Amino acid sequence: MNRTESPGSRWHLFAEACFIALLVVLSRVDWILSSLYHSAHAPTAVAGAVSLLFVGLAGALYLAALLVPRAWSGQVLRASVVMVAIYVLQAALRELPFMPLTLTVTHKVVAIVLSAAVAALMALRMGDALWLRTRWALIAACVVYALSPLILVQFTAPKVTVQVPPTLVNRPTVFLVLDELNANAAQPLIQALKAAGAKVDASVVAAVGANTITVLPEMLGAGHLPTAKVCSPSAVCDARGQFDFRQLTFAPSQHFHVVGFFHPYCEAQGWSSCERFGVPSVGAVKSLLCTFTRVLPMASSDSACEWMSPARWLVFREQVTSAVLASSFWSTGGVLFAHVPLPHPPGVDEGTSLEFDYEKNVAQAAIFVAQVWAKGQQSYGDGFQLVITSDHPLRPELWCRQAKYRDAGCQVPVNSQPKQVPFVVASSRSNTYPIPSSNGEIFETHRER
Ligand SMILES: [Zn+2]
């Protein structure tokens, strides 16, 4: 780079525009990792959307800089580099103890004004040489901050082995995790199983968390990570620790067959067969652009970007339930662990209330468990057992924010057991299956590191 050129030279403007675009891409690391972790988009689609964002933004900023007077454009771009760097690093600043837990509009406006003041000061007062050093330092800090969880997880995530207590799986067993099944919503499932001839032992157990992202890892041996979020394409992390599906082994001696969604189950090892399904999503480019609506001070969480298409969820559920019924477990035996998006909203119709959708999905779940039971009888006769539980109850606080339920109604059935989920065992014999104290203690897990 020719450092004798003025800050307003074309080369400088182009370089600053590229650095701003790079920092904006770094600010989307959460989206990139989540898209890969949940398999919401193919890796090539993620790479394509990110490249498009980088090229589009760098190009637009460069052209815009050429259009404003040269005396200003260099300074404006410098100030923008600082602003975006502060934005990337703000997540680290928010970890500081004196920061508020949730940011109000006032907090956001004050933060933007303060950042703009710091940025303007740096852009106007710094000499060229000092600016160049400062810019590299800011970019290095942002790269290290954005990528550090990814690197950390490689060295610190424990190796975990998961198995069913050996005395309980001396016969072919299916574990169904029905996502979002309330403790007091299991009755239609119990009736369907009884009608199909099963002996049913129904109880409730404590749910170890309120969301899929924390409970399933804990069920598989992560330990309690109550604020876990995605921190690599295969791991979740919180301040207490990490859980990487790549470090998870399903005990090979128990012949696990796995079908699931949301988590990258097939990154684990030791399974006899595994199928995971990507969560339905809008296209990668739209999904990436939608993340910016949350950046704006006035952004609300009921954006159309977040609504799930009932038609796509219908197809998606059909794929997961069909995979359960087509698993090679039904011919080879062992254990089938299935995480199924039922009665998880949305429903199958547009314009219906949350209560209506949930009831309909519970009815669909009852049909499905009866199908699983019938398949077990057909394949293994009286030797078969089916265990049904859930990760967490229905989350009205999440769903009622969605535009559909705000419009169509967000009455939900009263949940008298808000922190519990069903634990239902169906078999042909009298049950002696022990009831765990929580849904985090269904399996035996062994951690090595
Ligand atoms: Zn869930």
Residue pair 392/226 in contact by the 8 Å Cβ criterion? no
Kind and range of the H or E run holding 82: helix 70-94
440 CA → ligand 1 middle, Å:
13
377 CA → ligand 1 middle, Å:
28
d(CA 347, CA 399): 12
374 CA → ligand 1 middle, Å:
26
Residue pair 401/170 in contact by the 8 Å Cβ criterion? no
Residue pair 244/263 in contact by the 8 Å Cβ criterion? no
- Which residues fall within 8 angstroms of residue 285, CB to CB, at 6 or more apart? 48, 49, 52
369 CA → ligand 1 middle, Å:
18
299 CA → ligand 1 middle, Å:
25
d(CA 374, CA 384): 10
d(CA 441, CA 145): 35
User: What residue type is assigned to position 49 of the chain?
Assistant: A
The pLDDT score that the predictor gives to residue 302 is 45
Q: What is the CATH number of domain 160-447?
A: 3.40.720
Domain-wise residue ranges, the chain: 10-156, 160-447
61 CA → ligand 1 middle, Å:
41
Closest to 235 (Cα-Cα) out of 271, 264, 211: 264
Looking at the DSSP bridge assignments, the partners of residue 133 are none
Instruction: Output phi, psi for 101, to 5 deg.
Output: -70, -45
341 CA → ligand 1 middle, Å:
8
Residue 205 CA, chain-centre distance (Å), reads: 24
252 CA → ligand 1 middle, Å:
26
41 CA → ligand 1 middle, Å:
20
215 CA → ligand 1 middle, Å:
8
β strands within 165-315, DSSP E: 173-178, 199-206, 229-232, 235-238, 241-244, 248-250, 256-261, 273-277
d(CA 353, CA 58): 44
76 CA → ligand 1 middle, Å:
45
The pLDDT score that the predictor gives to residue 317 is 95
The pLDDT score that the predictor gives to residue 44 is 97
The pLDDT score that the predictor gives to residue 4 is 43
222 CA → ligand 1 middle, Å:
16
Helix (H, G, I), strand (E, B) or coil at 212: helix
Residue pair 18/61 in contact by the 8 Å Cβ criterion? no
256 CA → ligand 1 middle, Å:
21
The pLDDT score that the predictor gives to residue 365 is 97
212 CA → ligand 1 middle, Å:
4
87 CA → ligand 1 middle, Å:
31
182 CA → ligand 1 middle, Å:
11
Given the structure tokens 């209560």, which residue do they identify?
355
d(CA 318, CA 120): 55
Residue 418 CB-density burial (10 A; 0-12 exposed, 13-18 middle, 19+ buried): middle
361 CA → ligand 1 middle, Å:
14
In this structure, the strands spanning 420-427 and 444-447 are: unpaired
340 CA → ligand 1 middle, Å:
9
d(CA 358, CA 411): 11
Residue pair 439/383 in contact by the 8 Å Cβ criterion? no
180 CA → ligand 1 middle, Å:
5
- Whole-prediction pTM: 0.89
209 CA → ligand 1 middle, Å:
10
211 CA → ligand 1 middle, Å:
5
387 CA → ligand 1 middle, Å:
17
179 CA → ligand 1 middle, Å:
4
236 CA → ligand 1 middle, Å:
15
Helix (H, G, I), strand (E, B) or coil at 101: coil
96 CA → ligand 1 middle, Å:
30
d(CA 181, CA 422): 7
390 CA → ligand 1 middle, Å:
8
d(CA 237, CA 245): 12
d(CA 19, CA 22): 5
332 CA → ligand 1 middle, Å:
29
Chunk the chain into consecutive blocks of 10 residues (it has 449) and report each block's average pLDDT, rounded to whole numbers.
Answer: 57 88 91 95 96 95 86 82 84 71 79 86 84 88 88 90 86 96 94 95 94 96 93 93 96 96 97 94 88 63 65 93 97 96 90 90 97 96 94 91 81 80 91 86 89
The residue count for the chain: 449
230 CA → ligand 1 middle, Å:
15
